[in-house]
Chain A
């Protein structure tokens, strides 16, 4: 990457400490995103993928301890004042969530909620902001957009609600869009519509997108690059094409094999035995080794370093030869 990255995480760690217990959710994540690039963070529940995304916008609860570096467009996010943060959120970086019904305000019309963002960030008048809201609803391909400006979230179907939320997020033309499983709650025929819309908008507006998902198929449809997380660390990273053709790390390889796809009738599915670690302490060795068929004594010696495997691919496994 020659140009300065749009987003850069350096050794990001997030710890949640409550009276009862401590959870080390993210344990040293390094990640970069170029302008106009789509990165998919893949992982199962508890892998730290959503926490990483939320840390980027400082949306974590007060008791979360965030260390390391978060840089977006050359600015240090962790050093921003609350006032600056309010401009930053929604202005330069925006987020869309899994559940549009809870993310949208039920007592305001969709038009009002979009216009509010434009008024707050660009100081536009109410009338200009409403005109911009209409443009945005058309941009996200909501049919009869003018009528839908006056609709409340509960009056829209799931797919239209998700489109409305995308319109709110895009209101100030953010450079970086964060998407936290935005299509998981949608039906199959609607999910593909929203994925195609996001891809089209991303190309049209040239945004960088970080897309969190647990679904390999979704990553296959939308990602340029994929980062797989396990137990709070990135275990593999690389271009989506070579990743889907054959992951390097045993964990994503197991994940790909255990995902039912194509005609696998009558076959016994390959599974990954066991369950992810509890994360009550920072893992000091390879977190996946207890479940890994290839594990040996050396895996327990320490956290494996990220190995560059060529072609922009890297993985955290001692069995991978540098390329």
Chain B
């Protein structure tokens, strides 16, 4: 499967995103004019490499779910470009890939396992639906659905004709994963796939995802607010704050040597399981600001303990810390004008 579809070889990113932007207008007033704009995703660039799991973390309102919806083109881009294995998405004429073809190769699993299945279809029909739309015969589609049910650990003889309400949350999420795999995609976007599940079930689904990824040669984009889960499943991690990328890098670099003050605070906010190591001071005060009117310069500066004048005046550029580890902080750039410029690189957390 991989060899048939792979075009650019293993070194070419499966998906390259440049300046991804999505703004939502807020309408109001007598004539329904645009009164404000939510800058949900504001110039986000990153690459998804073949065969990796890229984790995206951030708090509510940081734009991680909007990013997911842009990746599967459930939302149109306001600006920016998407290149899928060397082909521009949505430009079928000029060496591009049509949307229909792109969607066949990029599938999504949503957080709410019940809302994302048709309540009036037996789960087998839900899974077979997309292949049929894409021209697979009735019999073959149904066969594929049953194979996938078996692959996600639901015995077809027992489960195929059941309706979504007859399943538990964990079983429904397995069905959603099977549905996403029905078109034999290369990239699967998982938007908080285990957040609504109990811990013992969460572990089952995480194990399943790891197995399926190896079995079907998949690439994952895994979005979650749970830092422990992201650390478990990801090869690389991207941290978002108010619609922007603040840090990206290999999972070890992000968790062992976080460079951005926001990433550090986020990691320090995890409750410790050890009552002897309780926190006494919260790493951050306040809530994330409203993305309607984000702060100038560095968007994190209003909650950052190291903020200086330069942080309000200029937007930090992503500094390369080696090994694909990038952080958008003035302290990570030597000539930024911040009094602690460069110091952040030595501090070990």
Chain A interface residues (CB < 8 Å from chain B): 44-45, 143, 157-160, 187-193, 195-196, 214-218, 220-221, 223, 240-241, 244, 254-255, 258-265, 268-272, 275
Contact = CB atoms under 8 A, between A and B. Distances in A.
Contacts of B206: 260, 269
B229 interface: yes
B284 interface: yes
Given A157-B287, A221-B279, A271 B200 contact: yes
Contact of B280 (A196, A220, A254): A196
A190 B286 CA distance: 7
A220 B272 contact: yes
Contacts of B278: 220-221
Given A157-B287, A159-B286, A217 B270 contact: yes
A187 B271 contact: no
Interface string B272-294: 11111011111111111000000
A214 B283 contact: no
A188 B232 contact: no
B317 to A, nearest CB: 25
B214 to A, nearest CB: 12
A313 B89 CA distance: 60
A189 B270 contact: no
B269 interface: yes
B282 A193 contact: yes
Contacts of A264: 231-232
Interface string B246-264: 0000010001000000000
B96 interface: no
Given A187-B60, A220-B274, 11 more contacts: A187-B59, A188-B225, A191-B271, A196-B281, A220-B272, A223-B275, A260-B229, A263-B231, A265-B251, A269-B206, A271-B200
B112 interface: no
Nearest to B171: A275
B153 to A, nearest CB: 11
Contacts of B269: 188-189, 191-192
B75 interface: no
A45 B286 CA distance: 30
Contact of A258 (B168, B200, B225, B274): B200
11 contacts: A159-B287, A188-B227, A192-B282, A196-B280, A216-B199, A217-B271, A221-B272, A255-B200, A260-B228, A263-B231, A265-B231
A193 B227 CA distance: 17
Interface in B202-247: 202-204, 206-207, 210, 225-229, 231-232
A241 B275 contact: yes
Contacts of B273: 216-217, 220, 244, 259, 261
Contacts of A190: 59, 287
Nearest to B227: A188
B2 interface: no
A261 B284 CA distance: 22
A275 B198 CA distance: 10
Contact of B284 (A189, A259, A268): A189
B207 A269 contact: yes
A275 B204 CA distance: 11
Contacts of A262: 228
Nearest to A217: B271
B59 to A, nearest CB: 4
Top-5 shortest CB links A-B: A217-B271, A258-B203, A157-B287, A187-B59, A44-B198
A46 to B, nearest CB: 9
Given A158-B287, A188-B225, A272 B232 contact: no
B203 A271 contact: yes
B13 interface: no
A193 B168 CA distance: 33
B266 interface: yes
B285 A193 contact: yes
Given A44-B199, A255-B199, A271-B203, A244 B287 contact: no
A261 B228 contact: yes
A266 to B, nearest CB: 9
Contacts of B284: 189, 193
B199 A218 contact: no
B242 to A, nearest CB: 12
Contact of A214 (B199, B203, B227, B272): B199
B147 to A, nearest CB: 23
Max chain B C-beta neighbours (<10 A), residue from A160, A187, A223? A187
B251 to A, nearest CB: 7
